[in-house]
Structure 1
Amino acid sequence: MMTQPQSQPGTDATSGAHPFDKDWSGFVRMDMHCHSHASDKPLNKAAGLIGCVECYSPPERVFDQAIARGMDFVTITDHDSIKGAMELVDRGFQRFIIGEEVSTYFPEDHCLLHVLVWGHTPKQHEQIGKLGLREDVYKLAAWIRENNLAHSCAHPLYVQNARLERWHIERATLLFKCFETRNGAHADTQNRAIERFVDQLTPGLVHRLVQAHGIEPLWPRVWEKGCTGGSDDHALLNVGRTWTSLSIDAADRVSDPREFLRRVMQGKSQSGGVGGHSALLAHQLATVGSNYYAKRLHAQQSPSGRYLGSRLLRFAGIKAESPGKIRVAAYKATKRMWQPRKARSLPVSKALRSQIRPLLEKYPDIGQRLNPTLWVEGAAVSQHDRMAEFTQDLTEALSRSMGSGLVRSFRKRDPARISEHLVSYAVLYLAQLPYLISLFHQNKERNFIEKFEHETTQPGSGVSVVERPMRVSLFTDTIADVNGVCRFIHNVAERAHSSGRDLQVIASTKLRCPDLPNIYNFDPVFATKLPKYENLDLCLPPLMRILRHIDKHQPDVIHISTPGPVGCVGFLAAKMLRIPVLGVYHTDFPAYIDRLFDDSGLTRLSESFMRGFYKPFTAIFTRSEDYVQSLAGLGLDRERIVSLMPGFDTREFNPGFADRTIWKRFGVRAESVKVLYVGRVSVEKNLPLMVDIWTMVQNTCRARGLDAELIVVGDGPYRETMARKLSGQNVHFLGFRHGEELSTLYASSDMFVFPSTTDTLGQVVMESQGSALPVLVTDVGGPKEVVDHELTGFVLSPKAADEWADRMVTLISDERLRRRMGAAAYERMQRFSLVHSFEHFWQVHTEAWHDHLAKLGITRETAGIAGAQRPTDDSEARSPIG
């Protein structure tokens, strides 16, 4: 079987170099799978409750669009109906042949299968129902063979009622001559998998299937499958963009659709065109919904509602009645007369009026397709990638436009405006629901397809999921700050990139991110200052933009570094892809909340949130043994808590960066002893204790004639207060520092202090020791685990301010002690190599991925098996056909 060039998922039919640009004069083509309004059943029970059917396309428009897009023959394959096809037959349309998508079931377990049938008569269509062929796939297959009808097993790997297994596909291989190997609505991963399966069919493999299933093939040379392709269009968007083709020479003419079908059944066809993707499916759903609105709800709206609705319906190529501007103005004037109190429109309406025109100017190709008379060429929503980008840009523009109003409403404590804004945001995100549904729907077969390919391809071919490297997406809300979490993520990203591992970091911040090719920063749709953290932004990430990116990356494992908005998107992505999710418990957030707000209710709420957030995780890393107890105290399973091997980049933090001349730049005396603190300047870092300690240290130093200065690197909400309280106490606030400058500040200092009691490790404690500094830390939290008391530094109680001051003065006054402890610290830190830490990090993710695959039955031992018995207890493999 040959396969024509495939478009990449998400590629528009009209963009760039594409199979549509090819000269098709040597081919005859037909879109062999498309629907009309005769597919009049609801898509699901919810749609059925409101009377929304799955397709509203008039048959003649399906025909016209297929011909306009270069199809030589046309068919309509409605679900268990030929009414739409018969409309064209009765009206004498040429180059057309009847088709139908027949629903049928495996009687053993009621597994649903769809079979496309072409060229049958109305009488034969009636026989399908009268003979009960929809209830028994074996009877249907035998009837198709008896009547020698052209047919194809539609979207064979699409799991329709949660029962499909490889067992069913193997039986279908013996029952049917043709398979649909390119479906324009379902994920291209399905198309590629079934293409590979069909390509590798041989007489030997078919013989093994016959022996395993006890079924004789119904068709000669059944391993030579006829391959069909069709758009599976339900909305007049994609007709003719996926097809079945025959290669012909100048002397060979195929002028009749029945001759076309005969050659397809001989295995001479190719499938071509675009495969499905999430944006395409979303636009089909949105167009079907728009048709329902236009037919059932539009006329019931007010003149202004119909005016707005008619313009929005143009995006779907739907023409609807629209009152003139004069009538709309008269309606508004009358409304004001009878409702003197000014009625406010929702903020989203105001934002839409201000944002839509500038955005259409940015997307002129979308604007040009808003004329409903151009439906043959395709409505705006048929330009799938461009329309998805337009929708994302519009959603984000509307969100930003409403953001300032929402903040003002909260500051004014205006409940009416707050509710109006919240309703507007709900409407905005409800409009994205088709995209979200489609992303989940297009990925629901992922595990099944991976298992199918694993079991049906030869070991060593590189197709099986166990024969390729793992892909990881790491989600984080903090990427551009100066703290241990950020540097840990930077280190992981850099190490993954340098070692060739496929790891992508996903973030959403307005701050500048590290310049690494595997860090993806998405511009937030809304950002505001975090309460009590005015130097930090609380960012709302662009949900659909990130999920579409993840859909293209298709990671095997999701890693969530922070339980913020971006982390929540990561959790949703894991659910979408049905893959394991792991994370790191970097910070004791309940302790942070308790220290920041001193509110037991908020603390308990944060504990409940953390418990619920981390409970579904496959593994939870903690960077210290001390916090294993904290996680267990939240009610999390100890077996899933993994102590991550600590590590930092010894190349970036070592004594070789020492340069005492750097202090002149910051107005620090060259001869003084430099006491360094690096981190967030905030209350939860226990810096009020540092204020008390340093005041005592300065008093002692003045009395003894010692010269020492406190260097604070970082920023935060406590900086102003701390600077005021330590005014005149030899303190320098340097703000955030990065890269080599930070490394030099470490190596050029004399000692390091870190009074925090809420850190799970304290990356800065390792970096300072790696720079040959003695350190002082508390005996609460994770930092104490990387400090040898009285060898590399001191581990002290946070309640013993006097002891802290004494130890600091001792180090300030004793240069030999500082050097001895600093040398010991440097030696000890060499065991905490970033390479070893990263390899441990990667190994745990690999094990989680392999455990996930093993639960699906995907192991190296199960690779390449074929013809296995159906894995249920209630049946034997029977031979329903004599």
Structure 2
Amino acid sequence: MKIAIFTDTYVPQVNGVAKTLNRFTNYLNENGHSFHVFSPEDCGAGSTENVTRLKSVPFKIYPECKISLPNFSKIKNKLKEFNPDIIHVATPFTIGLCGLQIAKKLNIPLVASYHTNFDHYLHYYKLTYLESFLWKYLDWFHRPTKKIFVPSKDTLHHLNTKGFNNLSVWTHGVDCSLFKPAEDQEKIKQKYNITSKYTICFVGRIAPEKDLDTLTNIMKYSKQRFGNQLTWVIVGDGPKKEEMMKKTGTNQIIYTGYLQKNELAEIYSVSDVMVFPSDTETFGNVVLESMACGTPVIGANAGGVKNIIRDYSTGILCEPKNTLSFCRAIEDCLQQTNMLNRMSKKARDYALTQDWNSILSALILEYEEIVTPPLSPMLFTQKA
């Protein structure tokens, strides 16, 4: 197939949407499909044969996201040259909007994927007065699409309640050859100067929508409870990093910034558990990555995360924003070694079933059903 992807975020940006789309385009390349991505310019990354980078500026509220200024005529000409079978818009902002308009104008089959619970974000950015407008816009934006792909059953249910139709679950996988238990944990601990008995990690953007208030409270409580026996490793960056460091201090807390691939897998694998209080996730890629490394996750019983974690099996689900619930779960894990070991094995076993190739091949089949019209019953009648 020939697939055009319009997105407002793509590698080298570090977020779940960018990483998912990069994994998808790698799959397309490896399996004989053609693709072309239209995305913002970022970190000096220029256009290539398969990627057209568009001029962009940082979004004030969310600086790591880019607001692009697309040249509609240039994109249209590039798209005509590529001649795609289908257009996939991954974000509903400037570049996604451009893809929507071109698909309608050139009569190319259009699908979308829904990766972000924007309405939940409004709460954390004190913009809830925009919620009504947001849903009207999202309804208008997605109405021309043949199908909307969502990453979890929870997201599908959420959009169903808002009147969206033609929904299909496109779950996410994990590379278990990259994210796997470490063979030499002591060597990794020496690398990061971790000398404590216990290690807990958090991986994610250090931004309001990750519920940093709850995370900070959990960290403060656990430091009081376990003292120097416990080290926290905070992986990620974002607008609230400096503020969070001031609130938590840096004693027995390591802030690594963004880590890529092998180093990220190292942190997961040397941690006893990962704590993830975010209640805004449509999926939670980091949850599955952690589980692939044999590290159970203590997460919020909300959003897509609750569709991944099996309570007291592959991790523990806690009441969102309930610091005490998370702290009790931490104590259960750290003080019951046999239980933690069982959850570690079950987490890894579950991750091994979430294979990217089978997930992405199923997505291609759905594309083909959309692009290939069903045979007319008249053909069979005439043949008979």
Q: TM-score, normalised by structure 2?
A: 0.91
Equivalent residue runs for 1:669-748 within 5 Å: 669-702=194-227, 707-748=229-270
Which residue in the other structure is 1:653 paired with?
179
Task: Give, in whole Å, the separation in 2 of the partners of 1:697 and 1:823.
Answer: 25
Task: Give, in whole Å, the separation in 1 of the partners of 2:22 and 2:49.
Answer: 10
Among residues 729, 751, 761, which one is paired with 2:273 in the alignment? 751
Over 3 Å counting, the alpha-carbon distance change for 1:660 and 1:551 in structure 2 is farther
Over 3 Å counting, the alpha-carbon distance change for 1:686 and 1:563 in structure 2 is same
Among residues 148, 154, 160, which one is paired with 1:632 in the alignment? 160
Task: Give, in whole Å, the separation in 2 of the partners of 1:514 and 1:756.
Answer: 33
Give the Å deviation of 1:616: 1.5
Task: Give, in whole Å, the separation in 1 of the partners of 2:109 and 2:134.
Answer: 24
Aligned identity (percent) is 24
Contact map agreement 1:701 1:809 (CA 8 A) in 2: no
Where 2:125 maps in the other structure, the secondary structure is helix
Contact map agreement 1:762 1:782 (CA 8 A) in 2: yes
Task: Give, in whole Å, the separation in 2 of the partners of 1:642 and 1:562.
Answer: 16
Which residue in the other structure is 1:475 paired with?
6
Which residue in the other structure is 2:132 paired with?
604
Task: Give, in whole Å, the separation in 2 of the partners of 1:481 and 1:612.
Answer: 28
Task: Give, in whole Å, the separation in 2 of the partners of 1:625 and 1:823.
Answer: 25
Over 3 Å counting, the alpha-carbon distance change for 1:775 and 1:538 in structure 2 is same
Over 3 Å counting, the alpha-carbon distance change for 1:837 and 1:512 in structure 2 is farther
Which residue in the other structure is 1:540 paired with?
69
Over 3 Å counting, the alpha-carbon distance change for 1:658 and 1:506 in structure 2 is farther
Contact map agreement 2:196 2:231 (CA 8 A) in 1: no
Higher RCO (CA < 8 A, seq sep 6+): 2
Among residues 84, 95, 103, which one is paired with 1:566 in the alignment? 95
Task: Give, in whole Å, the separation in 2 of the partners of 1:658 and 1:509.
Answer: 39
Where 2:255 maps in the other structure, the secondary structure is strand
AA of the residue aligned to 1:622 = V
Where 2:372 maps in the other structure, the secondary structure is helix
Which residue in the other structure is 2:327 paired with?
805
Task: Give, in whole Å, the separation in 1 of the partners of 2:288 and 2:45.
Answer: 23
User: Unaligned stretches of 5+ in structure 1?
Assistant: 1-469, 863-882
1:616 aligned onto 2:122: no
* Residues 450-483 of structure 1: per-residue CA shift (max 9 Å, x gap): xxxxxxxxxxxxxxxxxxxx21111111113322
Which residue in the other structure is 2:32 paired with?
500
Which residue in the other structure is 2:51 paired with?
520
> May I ask how many residue pairs the two structures share in their alignment?
379
Give the Å deviation of 1:507: 1.3
Which residue in the other structure is 1:594 paired with?
123
Give the Å deviation of 1:813: 3.5
Task: Give, in whole Å, the separation in 2 of the partners of 1:736 and 1:519.
Answer: 26
* Residues 111-157 of structure 1: per-residue CA shift (max 9 Å, x gap): xxxxxxxxxxxxxxxxxxxxxxxxxxxxxxxxxxxxxxxxxxxxxxx
Task: Give, in whole Å, the separation in 2 of the partners of 1:725 and 1:802.
Answer: 19
Give the Å deviation of 1:521: 4.0
Give the Å deviation of 1:781: 0.3
Give the Å deviation of 1:715: 1.0
Contact map agreement 1:624 1:644 (CA 8 A) in 2: yes
AA of the residue aligned to 2:296 = P
User: Unaligned stretches of 5+ in structure 2?
Assistant: none
Give the Å deviation of 1:729: 4.7
Over 3 Å counting, the alpha-carbon distance change for 1:578 and 1:594 in structure 2 is same
Where 1:838 maps in the other structure, the secondary structure is helix
Give the Å deviation of 1:519: 4.5
Please report the RMSD computed on the Cα atoms of aligned residues, expressed in angstroms.
Answer: 2.5
* Residues 8-52 of structure 1: per-residue CA shift (max 9 Å, x gap): xxxxxxxxxxxxxxxxxxxxxxxxxxxxxxxxxxxxxxxxxxxxx
Contact map agreement 2:40 2:66 (CA 8 A) in 1: no
Task: Give, in whole Å, the separation in 1 of the partners of 2:49 and 2:365.
Answer: 19
Q: TM-score, normalised by structure 1?
A: 0.41
Give the Å deviation of 1:577: 2.3
Does 529-538 or 755-764 show the bigger shift?
529-538
Give the Å deviation of 1:503: 2.6
Give the Å deviation of 1:722: 1.0
AA of the residue aligned to 2:194 = R
AA of the residue aligned to 2:22 = H
Where 1:777 maps in the other structure, the secondary structure is strand
